[in-house]
Structures are given as C-alpha cells and as structure tokens.
Amino acid sequence: MRYIMMTVMLTLSGYASAHQWMPTYPELRPSYVAGVLTTKMELFNSRNDVKYYEILVYDKDFNPMRFATQEKIVEVGYLKRKNIDVYIREEDRDKITYICSKSKLLKGTGSVTRVSSRICSKIK
C-alpha cells in the first residue's frame, strides 16, 4: 500500500517541477567498440524552467572523469523523456563511481533565487 501511495505521489509530483535520472545503480556492459563500456540512462524533465541538462561522470571523490555521450549538454523539453548512452573506457571501470545529470540554468531568466538540481547514480 505504501509503495502504491509513493508511486502515485511520485507520478503526480513529476508534474510540479522535477528532475528524474534513472536508474539508481546502472550497470556497465561492453559496447560495440572494444575496450569501451556503456550504460543507458534515462532523464525525465518536468522542470518547465529548465531545457538543458549536462551529463557528468565522476570518481568516488567527485573528480571529473573522461567519458563520451552523443551530447554532453542534452536538450530535453518539458515533460519529455530522453535515453542517454554513456560510454567510458574499460580501464576506468574501477575509478568511475557516479554518473550525474545537472540542470543548466539560463542566465538572466526566471526569478531571483533559482535552484540548480543534480542527480547522481552510482555504479555498483
């Protein structure tokens, strides 16, 4: 019952002004390129004040790590969902810990104090 309530709540809350990044614990798998691993992430944007998100990859201490995606700044429209393939080098497999998405706020728009959201998934 609790989970049903939570699901309903999260579904409804998604229409307020929210940012979702899934899964929580992505799994790396071999890509079509030798020596490169990949994982698929899903971004859902229900922030009507945000149109662009940045994809970031970090080690356990939040130092930036090298990675590749089709676009590092992704345009995701309001109430749109986007699947993003993230590619990392196999030699970095043990170092890479977090794959994050961060909202990009446009300068000079919106109200006085704005909220920048970042959600980080952890590679297990």
Partner 1 sequence: MFKKSLAIAATLIGMNAVAEEVTITGTVASKCVVVTDTVGIYGNPTPSELSTATADGGVEPIVRFDVLQASFYKARITYPISFSESPALTDVVNWTGNVSVAEVTDASMSAYDTSKIEFDNVTEVDLTVAGSTWFKVESTADYGATKAFPAGTYRAVVSADCIAL
Minimal CA–CA distance to 54: which of 73, 40, 70, 41? 73
Residue carrying structure tokens 């709540």: 9
CB of 74 to partner 1, least distance (A): 17
**Please, what is the minimum distance in Å from the beta carbon of residue 27 to partner 1?**
13
Query: Within 13 Å and on the Cβ side, how many CA atoms surround 107?
Result: 0
Nearer to partner 1, 24 or 70 (CB): 24
Minimum CB distance to partner 1, residue 37 (Å): 18
CB-nearer residue toward partner 1: 89 or 104: 104
Q: Which residue's entry shows tokens 């979702």?
A: 20
Could you list the residues that contact partner 1 (CB under 8 A)?
Answer: 2-3, 6-7, 9-10, 13-14, 16-25, 47, 49, 98, 105, 107-108, 110-122
Residue type, 28: L
Strand residues in 5-51 grouped as ranges (E): 18-22, 29-30, 36-46
| Min dist. Cβ of residue 56 to partner 1 (A) | 11
